[in-house]
Structure 1
C-alpha cells in the first residue's frame, strides 16, 4: 500500500534528510551500502504529497509463494536469536544454515559452501516521524494491520507477527536487545551504547544470491574489541532491524574467493565464545554437531546485516 505522509500530518521537507542526520550523529563513519540501499528516495524532497511504499499484500515481506514455502519460517525464530530451536524446515532449507562454522576452522585455505542472501526485497526505512505513528507491539496487531492494509490470517500477517514476537522475547543473560523501526532509532541505540566514533561494517558480495564454493584467503583478522552491536534486518513491510549487544563476542574480517575465481567476498564474521545459554536445539548446534558451551561458534553476517564497533 501507499502510506501518505501528508495524511499523517507530516511534510517531508520539514525533516532533515537521513544523510544529514547520519553525518550529524556519525561524522567519522561512512554510511554502509545496506543502509544507503534502504533510504527512501522521496524522503527529504520538497514535495507536499509524498507517498512511502510500505508494502502491500504482494510486496515488502519476502515470501517465496512458488517455492513450496521455502525460506519462509513463520513458526521458527531467527537463527540469530539464541533461545529458539530450529525447525526441520530451517535445517534443510534455510540458506542461513550454511553461514555457521567453528572458530577453529577460520583459517586460510578453508573451503566452505556458502549462500549469501538478502533478507527482504524492496523495503525501505520509514521517516522517523512516520515510524513513530505506526505501533510495533503484539498488543496493537489489529491497528498495525489496519494501517498497513494487511489481511489478518494471511502469510504476510503471520510473518509480521513473528517479527514482532521476536523483538518482544527476552534475550539471554548479558544480552541487550532492541528493535529499531527507523534509521534514527537504530543510530540512537548504537551511539548510546558505543559512542559516536564508530565503524558500521557489513558483508560485501560481488555476485548476489549465488550458492558457491568459497575458500578463505589470506587476510583473516579480528576487528574491534569485546564491545559490539550486531543489527539483523527482519522480515517486515518496512525496514526493521533487530539489534543486540552480547558479551563474549568477537568480530572478524574474513576474505573469501569462489573456487572458480569469479567472485570475492569481504565477509564479516561474528564469533560467540560462550554459547552455554543458547537453546540446545539452536540451528548452529544442529548444523555443526556440537553442544552448548563447548566450543566457540561463529557465523557470517548476511549482506544486509550490520556490525557496529568502536574505532
Structure 2
C-alpha cells in the first residue's frame, strides 16, 4: 500500500490544479469571492487561446477581437414599461478574443507610439481594416476622461477588477449584463414582460469590449445615469434579459451625445435610453444596487 502513496499524492495535486482555474479566475475569486462571474467574462476565459507562444513573438489570436453588436433604437425612459415593444437584433461576438493574464498583457506595448511594433507582433498588415481598428482603439483609450469621469482601458481581467474596485471604492460589487437565449437571434420585435431598476446612483461603472488583437475593455464610471434590467420575449420565443442605460444629457457636454439630444428634442423631455450588447458589463456597488 505504501508504494501507492506517491501516486496518490500526484493524483491529488493534479486534481487540485485541474479545479484551481486560470490565473484570471483565481484573481476574480480573491477580489470578488461573493460575486458570480458574469457569462461575458466566463465565456472569454473558456475560449481563450493558449498564449504560451507569446515569448516567441507569435500572434496569440487567430482573429481580431470584436464586440457583440446590438441593432437598437433610442427611447425615452418613460417608455420603458411592461407591454412596451422594441425591435432589436442581438448578435454574438463571432470569434472570441483571447483574455490575457496581467503578466502577459503587461509584456505587450499598448500605445499609439508603438503601433508598428504591435501590428508586427500580431502579424497584422499596416493599413488593413484590422490595423485601423487597433489604431482607433488605442486612440480612444488615450483620450482624456470626460467631466467627473474615471476611465481606463483594461488589457486583462486583473486590470479591470483593479479599476472597478478602485473607482467604486469597494469590493462589494454586483455585475449585470445582457443575456439572450440564442447566440445570434434574428432581428425581431421583443415584448417587455418585466422591468427592474438596478441602480439610480452615479457610483457605478461599465466596461465595453473593444476591437483589438486580444480582449481589451474600455471601462469608465457613469454619471447621472440609471440602469435597468429588462425582461423580454421575442416573436420567435427567444427570451432576453437586456441591460438598458438611461442618460441625463442635460448635464453632459460631450459632443458625441448630440445625436441623443437631437432624438430627445424630437421626442420630448426625459432621459434617453438604449440597450447594451451582451459583452458589456455593468459594475454596481451592492450598497446602492436594488437587485432582486
TM-score if structure 2 supplies the norm length?
Answer: 0.79
Distance 1:62 1:41 in 2: 14
CA 1:18–1:281: 2 relative to 1, 3 Å: closer
Question: Secondary structure of the residue that 2:119 maps to in structure 1?
Answer: helix
Q: Does the 8 Å contact 2:48/2:99 carry over to 1? A: no
Runs of 4+ in 1 over 6 A off after TM superposition: none
Write the mapping of 1:1-311 to structure 2, written as runs, cut at 5 A: 17-39=23-45, 50-51=52-53, 54-56=60-62, 59-62=63-66, 96-119=70-93, 121-194=95-168, 195-209=170-184, 210-217=186-193, 219-226=194-201, 227-260=203-236, 262-275=237-250, 276-279=252-255, 282-285=258-261, 288=263, 290=265, 295-311=270-286
Distance 1:138 1:290 in 2: 38
Structure 1 or 2: more helix by fraction:
2
Q: Does the 8 Å contact 1:203/1:265 carry over to 2? A: yes
Question: Secondary structure of the residue that 2:231 maps to in structure 1?
Answer: strand
Distance 2:71 2:265 in 1: 14
Distance 2:281 2:89 in 1: 17
Q: Does the 8 Å contact 1:61/1:156 carry over to 2? A: no
Distance 2:99 2:264 in 1: 38
Q: Does the 8 Å contact 1:228/1:249 carry over to 2? A: no
Deviation at 1:61, TM superposition (A): 3.9
Distance 1:105 1:238 in 2: 38
Give the total of aligned pairs: 259
Superposition RMSD in Å: 2.9
Deviation at 1:114, TM superposition (A): 0.4
Most deviating of 22-31 and 114-123: 114-123
Q: Does the 8 Å contact 2:87/2:190 carry over to 1? A: yes
Most deviating of 98-107 and 125-134: 98-107
Distance 1:122 1:310 in 2: 28
Q: Does the 8 Å contact 1:40/1:124 carry over to 2? A: no
2:3 equivalent in structure 1:
none
Deviation at 1:196, TM superposition (A): 0.6
Question: Secondary structure of the residue that 2:75 maps to in structure 1?
Answer: strand
Which structure 1 segments of 5+ residues have no match?
Answer: 1-12, 64-70, 72-94
Distance 1:192 1:279 in 2: 28
Deviation at 1:297, TM superposition (A): 1.3
Larger Rg: 2
